[in-house]
Structures are given as C-alpha cells and as structure tokens.
Copies of this chain bind each other. A is one copy, B any other.
Amino acid sequence: MRPMPGATEGMQVRLSRELIVDAYLRVVEEEGAEAATLRRLGAELGVDPTAVYRHVRDKEEILAAASDRLLAQAAEGYEPTGSWRADLRALALRARGAYLNHPHALLALETSPAALPNGFRLADLVIGCLREAGLPEDEVAPAFEAIEGYVIGTALVDARASEETREEWRRAYTSLPRDRYPNLSAAASQVYRDPDAAFLYGLELMLAALEARAAGRSRAGRARPRDQV
C-alpha cells in the first residue's frame, strides 16, 4: 500500500527510538517475541527494515530501550505503605510482572547496562526497603542481589514454561520408578501447580529470614551469634 498524497500524511511520521520501541512492544504483545524481527518491525513502521539502524546501534539496543520503559512503567503509581515487608513484596511482584511479560527484552539488560535513564527507580526502592528493615549495612548489597536474582530468575524460567510443559513435567515425575526416586514420586502430583504461589512462597521465605536477621541484630546489638551466612 503506497501512501496516497495527503490522506495518510498524519501517519507518515518521522522514525524515532520511541516509535521503534512502540512497534517492538506492540509486536511482542500481539505475536510473541520471536515475531519481533527487524523485517517485521520495518513492516509495522511502514519503513524499510534497515531504516532503524539510523536510530539504534543494533537490535539489542531496541530491547534495552524497551526494558527501560517497562521498568519505569512497573514503578508507576507505587505508594509505600510504611511496612518494608509489604512494600518489598509489592515491588517484587511489580518487577515479576514486567519480566513475565517481556522476558526477552529484560534479559538484554544483563549484557547492556546503563541503558536505563528511567528504569532504576524499582531497584532504588527495593534497597530502600532493605535499609528500612534494619539489616546490617554490609548485608544490604547481597540481600538486594539475592532478591533481584530470585525475581528475575524465576520470572525467566516461568515465562518459558506453559501449562502444557508443566503438565509434561508432572507426568515425567509421576511415571518415575518409586524405588529409585521415592521423594520425587511422592511430590510429583503437587508440583508446578501454581508458579505464582511458588514464587510468593519463596519470596516470603526470604522476607521472613531478613526480618529475623534484622530483629536479631536490634535485640542483640553488636554481638550476633549467627554471623556466618
């Protein structure tokens, strides 16, 4: 379809990083990440597939720019409640939501840092919760990294799985010989029923342990018996 003179004038906008990210997110949401090829983005933008190279260095940069927007959106409207534990849970769930919807884009951040003019908000808020909890200063960084790894990691894994593959895994566990795999056989039917519930269970484990460590510190002062974590 060639643009008729005048008629599609309003549509014939100039290409920009913003528009490219728009197109990327639109295609992924409608047809999945594997559909978001550069040729497809070109078609979506009504432009030659290679035209985007005038605005981004490579495809990775598109994904990183998309991630920045997604993380900024995930932090939007967040209101702290005053309970660091409730806040940390809420922030983790927001991050998980973003990663579940766009695992490909957000995975690109790992290798291309510093591409987040807006997306650092979430991380700052999470660390704020940890400091507010009263965790020892030198545990804040590893605690942040552990939570970050848990949230990102489980989201990546959960995003790759589907109801079908989970069912296949259960079947595989169920059909195992009971004598060689007694524990896996016993748990087989209950496993992978609800990834969100499992995520929350593990998150609560971490939060409970963090609370215990912070409380133990405030009660015992300097001398902490279980320091060897």
Contact = CB atoms under 8 A, between A and B. Distances in A.
A181 B122 CA distance: 10
A220 to B, nearest CB: 16
Contact of A229 (B142, B184, B204): B204
Contacts of A142: 197-198, 201-202
22 contacts: A107-B160, A111-B160, A111-B161, A121-B181, A127-B183, A127-B187, A128-B182, A141-B190, A143-B205, A144-B187, A145-B191, A145-B202, A150-B150, A150-B202, A153-B155, A153-B156, A153-B157, A156-B156, A202-B206, A205-B209, A206-B206, A209-B209
A133 to B, nearest CB: 12
A184 B110 contact: no
Interface stretch (A8-16, A25-33, A112-120): A112-120
B110 A165 contact: yes
A142 to B, nearest CB: 4
Given A128-B183, A141-B190, A202-B206, 12 more contacts: A110-B161, A127-B187, A142-B197, A142-B198, A143-B202, A143-B205, A145-B201, A147-B202, A200-B229, A204-B229, A205-B213, A209-B212
A79 interface: no
A82 to B, nearest CB: 16
A205 B146 contact: yes
A204 B226 CA distance: 11
A142 B194 CA distance: 8
Contacts of A198: 141-142, 145-146, 149
A199 B150 CA distance: 9
Contacts of A127: 183-184, 186-187
Nearest to A190: B141
A78 interface: no
Contacts of A110: 157, 160-161, 165
Interface stretch (A35-43, A46-54, A55-63, A168-176): A168-176
Contacts of A205: 143, 146, 205-206, 209-210, 213, 229
Interface in A191-229: 191-193, 195, 197-206, 208-210, 212-213, 229
A138 interface: yes
